[in-house]
Amino acid sequence: MLFYPKFVKVLTLNDAAPMIAIQEKSLALQVRPDFPILHQQIQDSPLVYLDSAATSQKPTQVLEALQAYYERDNANVHRGVHTLSGRATDAYEGARDKVAAFVNAASRQEIVYTRNASEGINLVAYSWGLNTLKAGDEIILTVMEHHSNLIPWQLVAQKTGAVLKFVELDENQAFDLEQYKTLVNDRTKLVSVVHVSNTLGCVNPVEEIIAIAHQYNAKVLIDACQSIPHMPIDVQAMDCDWLVASGHKMCAPTGIGFLYGKLDLMRDMPPFLGVVR
Ligand SMILES: Cc1ncc(COP(=O)(O)O)c(C=O)c1O
């Protein structure tokens, strides 16, 4: 997986204005040359891209790393004894170490590659959810969830008889912590919540949400799609049970994301797809 250091701010909505104003030595000015796609005019003006919450643009460093891989090292990962396969496997597993370090996972085995964040959530829903949840068990979501963190749980609830409950917004259009406290109880088996909302931009108090859920032995999944490109993520400090993120929102190519899960939990989860790498 290819990550680019902490400059993703250059492409966010809030930074677009300074980017146009081109402040001397601004972060935006420093990193703009790294993004070839921005070196074009649209309707006679320099392109300003404001949709990076949906997908980020890719810097030269990422594009070059991809090209170098396909020009020098491309081979089947974990499936060959020849030099190229060794290099490809080293690159693939080396990236797992980098992702584990990036989120401060306790073990590299806690990182599973997925095609995106949606697949990470589906993995937990189908592997853990279908095998664990029973009729009457409760899943707590919020009304601000992306469809990716709603539909898998609706499907699991249909199949198991589990009940979905939703945290509403408070007067500031943010996570209503007080209402959450009234929802969570001994029947709660899962809380699955977005860290930073893609629609509202609010930053949810995930540490507090997780601590409360754990008092009732409920598991917690954090959707970090919008937070991880912009803030440090420490899964051990957060104490989440699972966390998902997506490469394409943090300058990596489309088609790669990851699921973090606590090792004991992951060991007990049956395979979701019949291929293990
Ligand atoms: C908060 C949030 N969760 C999940 C997703 C889905 O991400 P992916 O495209 O990696 O499946 C998105 C994408 O917009 C998102 O913003």
Mean pLDDT confidence for 184-198: 98
- What pLDDT is recorded for position 21? 52
Distance 62 CA to ligand 1 centre (A): 21
- What pLDDT is recorded for position 6? 39
d(CA 250, CA 247): 5
Distance 118 CA to ligand 1 centre (A): 6
Distance 47 CA to ligand 1 centre (A): 24
> Is the distance from the beta carbon of residue 194 to the nearest atom of ligand 1 less than 6 Å?
yes
Closest ligand 1 atom to residue 247 Cα is 10
Q: Which two tokens stand for residue 83?
A: 């030099």
Domain(s) labelled CATH 3.40.640.10 in the chain stretch across 104-267
> Is the distance from the beta carbon of residue 114 to the nearest atom of ligand 1 less than 6 Å?
no
- What pLDDT is recorded for position 259? 98
Q: What are the pLDDT digits (tens) for 45-85?
A: 999 999 999 999 999 999 999 999 999 999 999 999 999 99
> Is the distance from the beta carbon of residue 196 to the nearest atom of ligand 1 less than 6 Å?
no
Q: What are the pLDDT digits (tens) for 26-48?
A: 888 889 999 999 999 999 999 99
pLDDT for residue 274 is more than 90: no
Q: What are the pLDDT digits (tens) for 108-164?
A: 999 999 999 999 999 999 999 999 999 999 999 999 999 999 999 999 999 999 999
Q: How confident is the model at residue 1 (pLDDT cuts 50, 70, 90)?
A: very low
> Is the distance from the beta carbon of residue 115 to the nearest atom of ligand 1 less than 6 Å?
no
Q: What are the pLDDT digits (tens) for 86-108?
A: 999 999 999 999 999 999 999 99
pLDDT for residue 2 is more than 70: no
Q: What are the pLDDT digits (tens) for 225-272?
A: 999 999 999 999 999 999 999 999 999 999 999 999 999 999 999 998
Q: In CATH, what number does 104-267 get? A: 3.40.640.10
Mean pLDDT confidence for 10-22: 46
Indicate the pTM of the whole model: 0.90
- What pLDDT is recorded for position 277? 56
